[in-house]
Structure 1
Amino acid sequence: MSVEQRDPHSGYLTTGHEWNGITELNTPVPRPVYLFLILTFVFSVAYWVLMPAWPLGSDYTKGLLQANDRAAVARAVEQAAAVRSAWTSQIAAQSFADIEADPRLMADVRRTGRTLFGDNCAACHGRDAKGTKGFPDLTTASWLWGGSPEAISETIRVGVNASHPDTRVSQMPAFGRDGILKRDEMESVVAYVLSLSAPPPAGNKVAAEKVAAGKAVFAANCVACHGTEAKGNPELGAPDLTDMHWIHGSDENAIYANVWGGLKGQMPSWEGRLTPVERKILALYLIDLRAKRP
């Protein structure tokens, strides 16, 4: 077949190739394609000249426009900080009580605190701050190290069993693993602790005797931290054992496991990551969540 053959339908010349009766046309590239290629080339050259584009080892070409995204972001952050300083300066200067009494400032606290909590605390305590096993519910009035905004802010600053020199330090001994208590003593003290929030049925003599024995074990081994009434001690990070707020489980097996193996919670110090104002906002945000809980 001659390459000069012309297709009668399209008018284009053929390439001279044929497959199973199908002839290949020598169709030219559409002109708009050339136009787009030319425009792309012109744009590329213009961009290389105007914008930062070419690496030069330790530096790069700056371009005629001297565009700098990093500097632009830094300026945007500075501008945002300047706008925020109108109310963050008030947060820094005023007391917790005065801020809580100011609806306008608390609106800013709720908006910013939600973001701060989501970015820094939600991974452990959950987006709703209600915690999970091993991580406390922050929406209740039961706080290991005190639930005032001042105490919460300080706990955020120094952490718990963290690397900060002023960290809060707390540890429950492993009474079973370290041989401090015998098995029957642990079973008795678990029965006593359970009775503080769920007393055994009246008339159950065996249960009453175990609770009485557990009370004696508790008095000899636990009151130093949890107090004679088992109400806890925020100075030591010892929890209240008479309420229904349990971090590591409230059933008999969970409590026995805790008594046997001990506990040592940990929370990082946020002083190096969060500013004093941000820590103050977080403390107020958590206080506000607690106030909203029914």
Structure 2
Amino acid sequence: MSIEKRDPVTGRMTTGHEWNGIEELETPIPKVVFLFLAAAVLFSVVYWLLMPAWPLGWTYSRGLLGIDQRDVVTRQVEDAAAARTVWTARIAEEDFATIAADPDLMRHVKDTGGTLFADNCAVCHGSGGTGGPGFPNLTTGSWLWGGDPETIAETVRVGINSTHDETRFSEMMAFGQMGVLNREERRSVTAYVRSLSGQEPSEADQGRLSEGEELFATNCAACHGENGAGMHEVGAPDLTDGNWIYGGDAQSIMTTIYAGRQGHMPHWQDRLSPVDIKILTLYVGMLAGDSP
């Protein structure tokens, strides 16, 4: 390190520091830095005086303006609740068809219903309502119990095979485990059921269709109907539309026939208000493109 001296080129003093022959000039701090520093200090002092700023143990400085963000948020929540009461009261009073015909109400249904669906239904039916293995796709319009708003609302209210006293109850018996159909008969029924939805049977299954149709009429038609189109009265799915809850491939259908099925949907009466159930019903109808 050398001693401080004047740089012969610029005429400015050096700091006395030298690295490999390079000397550092004594560069003054730009005045604009002091300007911004002074402005920041001034802003801080004014803010501390006007706004809540300093913690004081169990309380804090209130500021000369007396602004309290908690009061602001409380007023905003109260205003939002008051505004919500206006349109929820209309939804509670009006029927499904009237609500569906009102664009303003349906805008609220779409926004609020989406949140209700995400919080309560999406875990099983998916965020878009497309379902998954064991959970119905709500976007296809293929309804187990019927797709009119009143029926959907009742399903949401009491559930399916739930603990509600008025629950909808539906179960497909285990034809294989109970010994009603042997393996070859189950294969014949599987081939026939797949043909109902337009799936081309393999050469091996071509000869099973006649027997499968007879076995279907004897064992399955009571719930699924003679043509396999299902029955809303008992929650039996339509086997002709290609929409499968547990899968429409041969192995999945064989498993269903052998072990049976008993789906479960919880009831929401104890968790959701009547207005929420009504909103959710309309939203589910929107997913399927249905209108009351």
Q: TM-score, normalised by structure 1?
A: 0.74
> Could you say if the C-alpha distance between residues 176 and 208 of structure 1 is closer, same or farther in structure 2, counting changes exceeding 3 Å?
closer
Tell me the secondary structure at the aligned position of residue 23 of structure 1. Answer: strand
What letter is aligned with 1:254?
S
> Could you say if the C-alpha distance between residues 111 and 212 of structure 1 is closer, same or farther in structure 2, counting changes exceeding 3 Å?
closer
Q: Is the 8 A contact 2:161 2:170 kept in 1?
A: yes
1: CA distance between counterparts of 2:81 and 2:105?
16
Moved more, 104-113 or 78-87: 104-113
Q: Does 1:98 align with 2:98?
A: yes
Q: Is the 8 A contact 1:3 1:13 kept in 2?
A: no
Q: Is the 8 A contact 1:200 1:208 kept in 2?
A: no
Query: Cα offset for 1:284?
Result: 1.9
2: CA distance between counterparts of 1:84 and 1:250?
44
Moved more, 233-242 or 182-191: 233-242
> Could you say if the C-alpha distance between residues 52 and 4 of structure 1 is closer, same or farther in structure 2, counting changes exceeding 3 Å?
closer
Tell me the secondary structure at the aligned position of residue 208 of structure 2. Answer: helix
1: CA distance between counterparts of 2:129 and 2:123?
10
Query: Cα offset for 1:149?
Result: 0.7
What letter is aligned with 1:258?
T
1: CA distance between counterparts of 2:143 and 2:111?
24
Q: Does 1:63 align with 2:67?
A: no
Aligned to 1:258: 256
2: CA distance between counterparts of 1:61 and 1:141?
58
Query: Cα offset for 1:239?
Result: 1.6
1: CA distance between counterparts of 2:166 and 2:53?
48
Q: Is the 8 A contact 2:230 2:238 kept in 1?
A: yes
> Could you say if the C-alpha distance between residues 223 and 40 of structure 1 is closer, same or farther in structure 2, counting changes exceeding 3 Å?
same
Aligned to 1:136: 136
Q: TM-score, normalised by structure 2?
A: 0.74
Q: Give me the identity figure in percent.
A: 50
Q: Write the deviation string for residues 38-95 of structure 1: whole angstroms up to 9, x where unpaired.
A: 4434444554552255374xx5425325544444334223322323333321111012
2: CA distance between counterparts of 1:175 and 1:48?
78
Moved more, 14-23 or 3-12: 3-12
Aligned to 1:17: 17
Aligned to 2:5: 5
Q: Write the deviation string for residues 201-242 of structure 1: whole angstroms up to 9, x where unpaired.
A: 8xx9722443145326x52xx566545664444454332234
> Could you say if the C-alpha distance between residues 126 and 200 of structure 1 is closer, same or farther in structure 2, counting changes exceeding 3 Å?
closer
Query: Cα offset for 1:142?
Result: 2.1
> Could you say if the C-alpha distance between residues 39 and 104 of structure 1 is closer, same or farther in structure 2, counting changes exceeding 3 Å?
closer
> Could you say if the C-alpha distance between residues 240 and 52 of structure 1 is closer, same or farther in structure 2, counting changes exceeding 3 Å?
farther
Moved more, 10-19 or 230-239: 230-239
Query: Cα offset for 1:183?
Result: 2.1
Which consecutive unaligned segments of at least 5 residues does structure 2 have? none
